[in-house]
Amino acid sequence: MMEPNFIRFPSFMEENGSLSVYESGKQVPFLIRRVFTVTANVNDIRGEHSHRKCSQLLICTNGKIKITCDNGNSVTEYLLKNMNEGLLIPPGIWATQQYLDINSVLLVLCDRGYEIEDYIRSYDEFLEWVKNRK
Answer yes or no: are the C-beta atoms of 63 and 121 closer than 8 Å: no
pLDDT digits (tens, 9 = 90+) for 33-92: 999 999 999 999 999 999 999 999 999 999 999 999 999 999 999 999 999 999 999 999
Sketch out the chain's domains with CATH numbers.
Answer: 5-133 (2.60.120.10)
AA identity, residue 26: K
Q: How far apart are CA 80 and CA 134, in angstroms?
A: 30
Q: Output the pLDDT for position 2.
A: 84
Contact by Cβ (8 Å): 71, 93: yes
Element (H, E) at 108: strand 105-110
The 3-class secondary structure across 23-87, one letter per residue, is: CECCCECCCCCEEEEEECCCCCEEEEEEECCCCEEEEEEECCEEEEEECCCCEEEEEECCCCEEE
pTM of the model: 0.93
The model's pLDDT over 91-110, given as tens digits with 9 standing for 90+, comes to: 999 999 999 999 999 999 99
